C-alpha cells in the first residue's frame, strides 16, 4: 500500500489478462504482475487501486495513526479469480515489516478490504534492494 498520486517512474507492460497497458511502481510489482499473468486461476487484476477516501471513516481507528485516515491510498493488487472471488495483495519487504508505520498502513488496508467484504487479503514479501523496492 502506498500514498495515491505520488509521482514515481513507473514500469509499463502489456497485460493479456487485462487487455491493457499496466503501470506499476517497481520491479517487484512487475514481477508479481508477470506471475499473475501466468497463473491460470487468475481472471484479471487491478494495480495501484485507489481506496475510497469516503469509506475510511468507517474503519476502526485503534492502533493506526489518525493522519492515515485523511490521506489517499492505493492497494498494490486487487485480483479477480476465475471462480469470481477477489484477492487483495500488498507488497512489502522484510524491512518494511519491521516498521510500525508500514504495519499500520498494511493494517489499514486489511481493515478497509475486510469492511468491503473481501476476506482474502495477503502480504507478498518481496526482495529488498535498491530499485526493486516499491
Q: How far is 82 from 39, CA to CA, in rounded Å? A: 10
Does the pLDDT at position 7 exceed 80? no
Give 132: exposed, middle or buried? Use CB within 10 Å, 0-12, 13-18, 19+.
middle
* pLDDT tens, position by position, 53-76: 999 889 999 999 999 999 999 999
The pLDDT, as a whole number, for residue 27 is 92
Residue 79 half-sphere exposure, CB side, CA atoms within 13 Å? 24
Q: Tell me which of 134 and 122 has the higher pLDDT.
A: 122
Query: Cα(52)–Cα(35) distance, rounded to whole angstroms?
Result: 27
Segments making up each domain of the chain, as ranges: 2-7+48-132
pTM: 0.90
For residue 58, CA distances in Å to 21, 49, 64, 70, 73 come to 33, 19, 13, 12, 15
Using an 8 Å Cβ cutoff, are 24 and 10 in contact?
yes
**Is 133's pLDDT higher than 60?**
no
Query: What average pLDDT score do residues 69-90 get?
Result: 96
CA–CA separation, 60 vs 108, rounded Å?
9
Query: Higher model confidence: residue 131 or residue 107?
Result: 107
CATH of 2-7+48-132, one of 3.40.50.10860, 3.40.50.300, 1.20.120.1760, 3.40.1350.10: 3.40.1350.10
What is the average per-residue pLDDT within 91-99? 95
Residue 130 has pLDDT above 60, yes or no: no
- Condensed to tens digits (0 to 9), the pLDDT of residues 13-52 reads 999 999 999 999 889 999 999 999 999 999 999 999 999 9
Amino acid at each position: 500500500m502506498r500514498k495515491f498520486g505520488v509521482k514515481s517512474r513507473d514500469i509499463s507492460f502489456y497485460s493479456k489478462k487485462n487487455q491493457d497497458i499496466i503501470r506499476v511502481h517497481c520491479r517487484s510489482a512487475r514481477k508479481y504482475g508477470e506471475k499473475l499473468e501466468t497463473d491460470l486461476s487468475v481472471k484479471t487484476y487491478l494495480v495501484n487501486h485507489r481506496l475510497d477516501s469516503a469509506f475510511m471513516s468507517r474503519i476502526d481507528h485503534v492502533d493506526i495513526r489518525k493522519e492515515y485516515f485523511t490521506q489517499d491510498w492505493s492497494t498494490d493488487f486487487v485480483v479477480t479469480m476465475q471462480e469470481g472471488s477477489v484477492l487483495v495483495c500488498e507488497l512489502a519487504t522484510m524491512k518494511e515489516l519491521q516498521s510500525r508505520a508500514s504495519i499500520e498502513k498494511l493494517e489499514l488496508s486489511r481493515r478497509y478490504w475486510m469492511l468491503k467484504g473481501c476476506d482474502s487479503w495477503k502480504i507478498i514479501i518481496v526482495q529488498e534492494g535498491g530499485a526493486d523496492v516499491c
